[in-house]
Structure 1
Amino acid sequence: MTFGPGRCGLLSRAEEQARVRQLLADARRGRSGVLVLHGEPGIGKSALLEKAVAEAAGMTVLRATAIEMEAELAFAGLGELVRPVEQSIGRLPSAQARALRTALSLEEGRIPDGLTLGAATLTLLTDAAATTPVLVAVDDAHWMDEASTRALLFAFRRLQAEAVAVLVTARDGEGCPFIEAGLPALALTGLDRAAAATLVRGVADIPADSEPFRRLYRETAGNPLALLEAASALRDSVWGVQPPEGPLPVGPRLTAAYSARLAALPEASRRALTVAAAGYTEEASVLVAALRQLSLDGEALSAPEAANVIDRSGNKVRFAHPLLRAAAYHMAGGQQRREAHRALAGALADREGPVDRDQRSWHLAAAAAEPDPTTASALADTAGRARDRGALPAAVRAYERAADLSPLPVDRARYLLAAAEVAQLAGQGDRALTLAEAATSASDDAAVRAGATGLRSQMLLVRQPPRRVHDQLVDMAVPLDAVQAVPLLVAAAGAACMGGAIVQARATADRASALACRGEAPVFDHSAALMRAHTMMLAGERRAAAAVFDSCDEFLAATDPLSIGVEVTSFSAMDLMWLERFATARTLLERAVRCARRMGATERLVPYLTVLADTQLRTGRWDDAYALASEGAALAAEIGQPVLRAYAISTSARIEAARGRDAECAEHARQFRGLVEGRGAELVSPYIDSALGLLDLGNGKNSEAAARLNDLQQRVAASGLREPTVLQHQPDLIEACLAADDRSGAQAALDDLMEQVGPAPSVWGLAVSARCRGLVEADEDAYLEALRHHERLPDPFAKARTELAYGRFLRRRRKRGAARRPLTAARQVFERLCADPWIALAERELRAAGFETPTRRGREPVALTERETQVAVLVAKGHTNREVAAALFLSDKTVEYHLNHIYAKLRVRSRVELAGRLAVDTDLPARTP
């Protein structure tokens, strides 16, 4: 009895096979699932995958086997996987179809962003499963190219109810993203002793109770392929009657054992195998053409085929095992490997397809033993195509290799800078910084140094304590001319703002603005002016800041948001929000979000989403704000932006505080503190205390709220922040002090608020300061003044709180009839916003005034998950399941799955009823995916 590699991998694998069969059974029942099989080489991963493919009767099988040499080719793995359903791409939503066709080089087009491409991959898998369940089988995923890996991981993480089973195999110790992504995984270990004995008996007469067998089993730890190779070697007397001292063939020694098998082949066959191993494709015609370049022909492959090293069926040349391929490549000397790559490049010379050109440029690069400007240029073209197709990690590597092959320092520096810029867009911040440093070290070219310096300033802003970043950037700007220094000083001022050093930020912004007048590019003038306006806003110079925005409206409306510093766009949107130009802020941010999504610029997308969430919160669109904040926080976590993630979390926490979702708010507060601790983000830190103060106030913990908010007020004052619309905590402080019988504290806080509002009042400032005057002074006219101001402010929560306070005032003055209207109006708004603690306060006042409180329409406190909230918001705006899926990068089936849960939780039966339950504005445009 003999065992091949596949059969031996299945010995004693009953439990593992049961897991795989359950995965297939779930898919047949309409449930999706993912399983990553991982372990050392030869442990049996591929055997289990092949068994699953054999048992996938009645299912559509999409499979791909990653090849080590293809790791540099963007979307090679994805293209192989989806080829059987490629004809279905045209039925995807148009944006997704364009993204996938562009990525796979099926058409020329705009750069597909990673989110849309991932959604396209998900939709394609889902559509394939609409008629029959699908098995996605990915073998040797540790060698999958990064572009394909990102798209597939995006899709795999979002599978839920689509009838798709995903089985992935990956090798331990290779840094495989599929293993590190937290997907369901199963680690394969060695065979048990009985199965190992059965395997060994199939290839050599080695008794299970003998010392040689015990040594084999102990040294291989039951690895079936290692056992097979070691037993074969012992049978063939390579070692005599005893295994050698030291480790047996596992890992590198297993490859060595394969090398010994290859060494017995004729020299022509070994040369031919080197070419086959070096290829990016298994296509036989390409290999034969390359062999002709070396005066060889297909006959050179006959001996390896007879020895079961390769298989030549189906116009493909496949190695029997990936380790055989590795052995064939690495046992050859460097000169022979370069010769193989040169031959493969020659075989592709007459092919004009973009994939063929990219393969050829990589072969030329592998064949180069010294700098070669022509090859470097070809590889830079490959990098540009990869960037244009959204394969940013592949573009980074191609630019890096082009730099290696460039003999001129200035060309090397430019390629390194291009690699750094793409790495930044891909969210690879540390790598971008390293490449930018290398670019400045490679050449003194002024354009390169300016570009690298600007990029470093962007990256430092979200990775180091802001005040330290400010000092570094100011120092970097000292020796530069105005054109190069202004962007650094603008970024430095932004860092100081984040660090809560408002006075320092203002001084640096003034310096940037003065230098910008000497600059040659108008964009510098506007960027510096806008940053200066931001520092003015924070310092309480509201009127002066507004004048700057009056002069920059056209610039902001016409300029590509990605062409200027991220802090300029996001801070400008914040300023517009604080200036209560909400429609302008929303338009700017939605355009910036679209641009960032289109480019796949995740690093830029996060701040835009978080500021947009804050804008929606302040205009009563809480559910939309919560959905945006959740998306921003998730993306920030994926790409390592802790401060921006904290800002997004604080927006969620403020909504949870107003809604009385104590546990969720507390958990977000815990996460927030872990994210900002030690980072010096002093202007971001107060947001969570503002949320917690509101939570305490709504829950009647008045003393705790007063203490927390008073401490917050002192810290804010020390930072130099004088614009009350930024945090909006002072009305809560005044109300908490009064409720805690601290009238002097309330009066002091009111005086400070009035002083800040006075010079250039916002509508919000006028409204809430009048409300607080009514609270402190028991002045009915103040309440009426506040309500008049609220009519000009799209903040329903703030208005409802004024109505609640006014109704309470009237009720205590025994004007019960008059109290009913404002109390009822307040209660209705609180109910629409799901602000449960405030509903309870309004109802208590209504009952105290002698009025029955209306039934809450069967409403119970219900907490939707963050994903459910995102789905519910878009459905409530009237979008179809497919439109919601496209916007949130989900599958249609997953949207339907979430929608069923939403209906059950909220006890609604239709989209119309759902819209009535959520605090959304149905006239808002959908977010463009």
Structure 2
Amino acid sequence: MSRPRDIGKFPSLRRSRRRAPTMETGARASAPSAVAFQGVAMTPGREQHGLLSRGEEKDRLLLLLSDARQGRSGLLVLRGEPGIGKTALLEEAVTEAVTVGMRVLRATGIEMEAELAFAGLSELIRPVQGLVGGLPEVQARALRVALSLEDGEAPDRLTLGAAVVTLLTDAAAAAPVLVTVDDAHWMDETSAQALLFAFRRMQAEGIAVLVTARDAERCAFTEANANLPTLRLTGLTPADAAALVKRSVHAAVDPDTIGKLYRETAGNPLALLEAAPTLRASRWVTQEPESPLPVGPRLTAAYASRLAALPEPGRRAVTVAAAAFTEEADVLIRALDALALDAAILRTLESAGMISLAGNAVRFAHPLLRAAAYHRATPQLRREAHRVLAGALSERDGPVDRDQRSWHLAAAADGPDAAAATALTETAARARSRGALPAALRAYARAAELTSSPTAQGRCLLAAAEVAQLAGRGDEALRLAGAASDATDDVAVFNGALGLRSQVLLLRRQPREVHDELADSAEGLDPAAAVPLLVAATGAACMGGAVLQARATADRACAAAGHHRNGDLGHSAVVLRAHTMMLAGERGDAAAVLRSCEGFLTGMDPLSIGIEVTSFSSMDLMWLERFQAARTLLERAVRRARKFGACERLAPFLTVLAETQMRTGYWDEACALASEGGMLAEETEQPVLQAYALSVLARIEAARGQSAQCVEHAHRFRVLLDGTGAELVSPYIEAALGLLELSTGKAAEAAARLTDLQQRVLRSGLAEPTVLQHQPDLVEAALAAGDPSAAQAASAELLRQVRQAPSVWGQAVSERCQGLVRAEEDTLRRATAHHERLPDPFAKARTDLAYGRLLLRTRRRGAARRPLLAARQVFERLRADPWTTAAEEELRAAGARTPARHGRATAPLTERETQVAVLVSKGHTTPEVAAALFLSPKTVEYHLSRIFAKLSVRSRTELAGRLSTFPQGNFL
């Protein structure tokens, strides 16, 4: 390509961009020109905004900056209609931050860049990119791959978010940092997700974050589930609006005219400034306007009228500038050269107040002007602009340049275009490899639109569906998978779409309906396609509580596997079959099947096999009381998932491990694991898993008598599972609430709840009592409520199930229940003997309590003290306060002195504090804890200081002594 013409006429386009001396900026930022928080600020490249009556808003911003300077992190989202003053406030905050010596990192969303993966993140961190090398290697690699600085496996989005946390924390080591994200509604989604993840985890790094977004635009930072501190800007007061107008027109304006203007604009500063020049004309001073003033969406129309006044070359040039993904003047001048337009036209546009030229950047005066320039242009002009911009980028070979060029080619096409489709497919593959799933999804979908070949179109749509599923967009994945099947007769596409549909439906629709659809779809398919459908159908039936149906479908999956029996496909079917056998009460057979799969389970890669294989098999091992085997399998899976940042897989592994630790008496560790698993399940949009994690927390809180926390978690559980039909998961919370009522002395309520639960469970076909473990609670509650016949019936049913499928826990608690119902000392003594073979201290302590009470009632006070004291010691260690109190009351009745309880926390630990406390007590360093929990080291230390204060300890050694004794497992 020839050298762009007339570049010599623009020396400013060759100069480096001016920056404020103490401020670091992103690629599109420039220093503000206003004095902080005084009157009206002029935002470079934007219209003048009135900040005259923004006292409350300014105070919020000053507090945000002050907190950062004192080591606290905070975030504020400024929302409002276009022109309301969001950017002006942001610029004043930047000026204040620079004045007090803070480092400033900036990013601005641009509408045309919304398709470019990680464009916003790249801009934000460019000034501190040199710090990437100091990050933990897995985080550094994630950032380098995401930003196309190196090739590699796609980074997990949560690992990438953790990398952003660490990088910003390192950037704040020398000085507090202000991070600004302007026009967040136009930021590419991949950047927004990474930044949102990071911002929500900042607490003690000394980082202030300020985000601006429009009210009417969808944005990750303004979604309801983001739950971020938000300040909604409204119009100026009438007095300040009048002052702004008078200053703008440099003349006195009568009050009636000001009132009319204010009513039309609702005090919107930009609308006031747009309309104010008309006051110099005659009629506005004395008459009503003939048409409404431009405000909100009407501002765009006002800009359009200015664009219409341009000559034809000016309209073509401004359309090219508006269509560009980059503000680089060199690219724009090459594009104009292809249209035979002189580069001097840029000066004309600058003189007209439409753009500004600074360094090598071309910026529009306001985002609305850019939007008007693009969207008001004819389709022909827009396609022309994209065509020449694609040509201007053809000599560049960087990955970002190739991505921009492919999108320009796509926008220039007015029908099927093989070259554009191929280029977009390559862009989509690059985006997926960098973990930019939303960008990859849009690229694959657009490539399908540009493809004329049915086979190629089906493959593009299937690829888009796979990306949508990974991104947590199940509805969109279903739509795209259906479109892929409709587009082509290709067998591979059809099978792939069918398998993907099964995975998505499992969490999207009623499980029993999903089972029926998948089981029917598998009919007549070859095994490679049928087995995954039948395995998913089995899982759906299990979740839906249709145990017998799940059992039959699992048998069918194993039969369909046939010669695949020794491969991963066959083993997946066999493991699911063992799971259904456990649920149906075929305990011995399930144990034998799992033993036959042990080599596979211990040797498999938990990240390359179906997630249900590891999760369900470890559950089965837990129910079979092979706790160490379950723990080993899960800890290995957790470590591998952490290493590769596979957080979608990490959530279920952590949650099942949490229940394993809960059942073996490691309650603090279980709380930490369940909290982390639940948070990750929420991040990765897995509501059933999140609910399961909440049920583990609720069970422990119930035993500890923490009513408020237990009830709150139960409410969240129900909201998550409402309408999902997850009938095998939903009973967990009823069991927890029944235990809470029993623990807190509400025996009648507990008996009623647990009786309903028992009937529901029996109807479902669930015949394995170790799954929910609610039946002993039902027996005790019925006895305490004065209903011995109900207690006898529940005890008899438990005994029947235990005889059918013997387990140590079942034998111990069924003997305890029989001893309670019949008041038999020998039966309770046998129960305590069974407990010696089971690592479940809470269950044993309850049996000891029941045994001691019976001895006390038969006036054997001396003999009663030993089991009562043993029970009291376990209850206190577990911090099961209602049960500790009950044991102490019985001890006093037995004539024993109860030793003083250990010190208690002045306030309960939060879920995050529990996670930190457990990991620190196991000997892990602050950086290790930070990496495991996706936090910054400073935030870990912040939580640790609060933990020390709450528990009244002064060291990590004392902390370890205060918490429960933990096994030697390593799940980091």
Q: How far apart, in 2, do the equivalents of 1:440 and 1:415 lie? A: 11
Q: How does 1:182-261 map to 2 (within 5 A)?
A: 182-204=227-249, 208-209=253-254, 212-233=257-278, 235=280, 245-261=290-306
**Structure 2 residue 55 is the aligned partner of structure 1 residue 10:** no
- Secondary structure at the counterpart of residue 416 of structure 2: coil
- Secondary structure at the counterpart of residue 597 of structure 2: helix
Task: Give the aligned partner of residue 123 of structure 1.
Answer: 166
> In the superposition, relative to structure 1, how do residues 331 and 675 fare at CA in structure 2: closer, same or farther (>3 Å)?
closer
Does the aligned pair in 1 maintain the 2:257–2:285 contact within 8 Å?
Answer: no
> In the superposition, relative to structure 1, how do residues 685 and 179 fare at CA in structure 2: closer, same or farther (>3 Å)?
closer
**Identical pairs, percent:** 69
1:832 counterpart letter in structure 2 = R
Task: Give the aligned partner of residue 114 of structure 2.
Answer: 71
2:708 counterpart letter in structure 1 = A
**CA displacement 1:695-743 (0-9 Å, x = unmatched):** 2222333343333323322221121111111011122223334444544
Q: How does 1:627-706 map to 2 (within 5 A)?
A: 627-638=672-683, 640-706=685-751
1:745 counterpart letter in structure 2 = A
Give aligned pairs, total.
927
> In the superposition, relative to structure 1, how do residues 238 and 873 fare at CA in structure 2: closer, same or farther (>3 Å)?
farther
Shift of 1:227: 1.9
Task: Give the aligned partner of residue 190 of structure 2.
Answer: 147
Q: How far apart, in 1, do the equivalents of 2:821 and 2:665 lie? A: 26
> In the superposition, relative to structure 1, how do residues 859 and 51 fare at CA in structure 2: closer, same or farther (>3 Å)?
closer
Q: How far apart, in 2, do the equivalents of 1:546 and 1:3 lie? A: 73
Does the aligned pair in 1 maintain the 2:179–2:210 contact within 8 Å?
Answer: yes
Task: Give the aligned partner of residue 459 of structure 1.
Answer: 504
Match of 2:210 among 167, 173, 177: 167
Does the aligned pair in 1 maintain the 2:462–2:481 contact within 8 Å?
Answer: yes
Q: How far apart, in 2, do the equivalents of 1:550 and 1:9 lie? A: 74
Match of 1:41 among 82, 89, 100: 82
**Structure 2 residue 622 is the aligned partner of structure 1 residue 581:** no
Does the aligned pair in 2 maintain the 1:9–1:48 contact within 8 Å?
Answer: no
Shift of 1:776: 4.1
**Structure 2 residue 928 is the aligned partner of structure 1 residue 887:** no
Does the aligned pair in 2 maintain the 1:483–1:521 contact within 8 Å?
Answer: no
Task: Give the aligned partner of residue 516 of structure 1.
Answer: 561
Q: Can you give the 5+ residue segments of structure 2 that lack an aligned partner in the other structure?
A: 1-38
Shift of 1:70: 0.9
User: Which segment is superposed worse, 166-175 or 1-10?
Assistant: 1-10
Match of 1:86 among 129, 134, 139: 129
Does the aligned pair in 1 maintain the 2:41–2:50 contact within 8 Å?
Answer: no
1:178 counterpart letter in structure 2 = F
**Structure 2 residue 754 is the aligned partner of structure 1 residue 709:** yes
**CA displacement 1:357-403 (0-9 Å, x = unmatched):** 22222222222222222322221222122122221111111111111
- Secondary structure at the counterpart of residue 696 of structure 2: helix
Match of 1:615 among 644, 660, 664: 660
Shift of 1:587: 3.8
Task: Give the aligned partner of residue 18 of structure 2.
Answer: none
Shift of 1:178: 1.5
User: Which segment is superposed worse, 596-605 or 528-537?
Assistant: 596-605
Match of 2:840 among 795, 801, 807: 795
Task: Give the aligned partner of residue 451 of structure 2.
Answer: 406
**CA displacement 1:323-343 (0-9 Å, x = unmatched):** 222222223322222222222
1:55 counterpart letter in structure 2 = E
Does the aligned pair in 1 maintain the 2:118–2:190 contact within 8 Å?
Answer: yes
Does the aligned pair in 2 maintain the 1:234–1:243 contact within 8 Å?
Answer: no
**Structure 2 residue 70 is the aligned partner of structure 1 residue 25:** no
Task: Give the aligned partner of residue 132 of structure 1.
Answer: 175
Alpha-carbon RMSD across the aligned residues, in angstroms, is 2.7
**Structure 2 residue 436 is the aligned partner of structure 1 residue 395:** no
User: Which segment is superposed worse, 255-264 or 116-125?
Assistant: 255-264
Does the aligned pair in 1 maintain the 2:40–2:51 contact within 8 Å?
Answer: no
Task: Give the aligned partner of residue 9 of structure 2.
Answer: none
Task: Give the aligned partner of residue 113 of structure 1.
Answer: 156
Does the aligned pair in 1 maintain the 2:484–2:493 contact within 8 Å?
Answer: yes
Does the aligned pair in 1 maintain the 2:638–2:650 contact within 8 Å?
Answer: yes
Q: How far apart, in 2, do the equivalents of 1:137 and 1:674 lie? A: 34
Shift of 1:790: 3.1
Task: Give the aligned partner of residue 868 of structure 2.
Answer: 823
Does the aligned pair in 2 maintain the 1:630–1:866 contact within 8 Å?
Answer: yes
**CA displacement 1:164-219 (0-9 Å, x = unmatched):** 11111111211122222221111122222233233333444775336554433222
**Structure 2 residue 814 is the aligned partner of structure 1 residue 769:** yes
Task: Give the aligned partner of residue 303 of structure 1.
Answer: 348
Q: How far apart, in 2, do the equivalents of 1:277 and 1:305 lie? A: 14
**CA displacement 1:267-326 (0-9 Å, x = unmatched):** 434333322222222222222333333334532311112233222212212222112222
Task: Give the aligned partner of residue 429 of structure 2.
Answer: 384
1:227 counterpart letter in structure 2 = L
> In the superposition, relative to structure 1, how do residues 848 and 862 fare at CA in structure 2: closer, same or farther (>3 Å)?
farther
Task: Give the aligned partner of residue 553 of structure 1.
Answer: 598
> In the superposition, relative to structure 1, how do residues 273 and 596 fare at CA in structure 2: closer, same or farther (>3 Å)?
farther
Does the aligned pair in 1 maintain the 2:41–2:88 contact within 8 Å?
Answer: no
Q: How far apart, in 1, do the equivalents of 2:256 and 2:489 lie? A: 68
**Structure 2 residue 534 is the aligned partner of structure 1 residue 534:** no
Task: Give the aligned partner of residue 434 of structure 1.
Answer: 479
Does the aligned pair in 1 maintain the 2:307–2:373 contact within 8 Å?
Answer: yes
> In the superposition, relative to structure 1, how do residues 729 and 69 fare at CA in structure 2: closer, same or farther (>3 Å)?
same
Q: How does 1:285-434 map to 2 (within 5 A)?
A: 285-434=330-479
**CA displacement 1:422-470 (0-9 Å, x = unmatched):** 1111111222222222222222222212222222212221222222222
Q: How far apart, in 1, do the equivalents of 2:285 and 2:452 lie? A: 54
Task: Give the aligned partner of residue 720 of structure 1.
Answer: 765
Task: Give the aligned partner of residue 96 of structure 2.
Answer: 55
User: Which segment is superposed worse, 878-887 or 513-522?
Assistant: 513-522
- Secondary structure at the counterpart of residue 72 of structure 1: coil
Does the aligned pair in 2 maintain the 1:78–1:152 contact within 8 Å?
Answer: yes
**CA displacement 1:512-545 (0-9 Å, x = unmatched):** 2222226699333222222221111111001111
> In the superposition, relative to structure 1, how do residues 203 and 855 fare at CA in structure 2: closer, same or farther (>3 Å)?
closer
- Secondary structure at the counterpart of residue 317 of structure 1: strand
Give the TM-score of the pair, scaled to structure 2.
0.90
Does the aligned pair in 1 maintain the 2:120–2:187 contact within 8 Å?
Answer: yes
Q: How far apart, in 2, do the equivalents of 1:321 and 1:861 lie? A: 54
> In the superposition, relative to structure 1, how do residues 371 and 865 fare at CA in structure 2: closer, same or farther (>3 Å)?
same
Shift of 1:150: 0.7
Give the TM-score of the pair, scaled to structure 1.
0.94
- Secondary structure at the counterpart of residue 107 of structure 2: strand
Q: How far apart, in 2, do the equivalents of 1:444 and 1:3 lie? A: 61
> In the superposition, relative to structure 1, how do residues 697 and 197 fare at CA in structure 2: closer, same or farther (>3 Å)?
closer
Shift of 1:623: 1.6
> In the superposition, relative to structure 1, how do residues 697 and 13 fare at CA in structure 2: closer, same or farther (>3 Å)?
closer
Shift of 1:919: 2.3
Match of 1:872 among 896, 910, 917: 917
User: Which segment is superposed worse, 236-245 or 83-92?
Assistant: 236-245
Q: How far apart, in 2, do the equivalents of 1:74 and 1:589 lie? A: 34
Q: How far apart, in 2, do the equivalents of 1:825 and 1:387 lie? A: 57
Shift of 1:624: 2.1
1:761 counterpart letter in structure 2 = P
> In the superposition, relative to structure 1, how do residues 689 and 155 fare at CA in structure 2: closer, same or farther (>3 Å)?
same
Does the aligned pair in 2 maintain the 1:265–1:303 contact within 8 Å?
Answer: no
Task: Give the aligned partner of residue 30 of structure 2.
Answer: none
Q: How far apart, in 2, do the equivalents of 1:39 and 1:26 lie? A: 24
User: Which segment is superposed worse, 859-868 or 48-57?
Assistant: 859-868
**CA displacement 1:643-677 (0-9 Å, x = unmatched):** 33332221111000111112211222233334434
> In the superposition, relative to structure 1, how do residues 862 and 228 fare at CA in structure 2: closer, same or farther (>3 Å)?
closer
Shift of 1:628: 2.5
1:925 counterpart letter in structure 2 = N
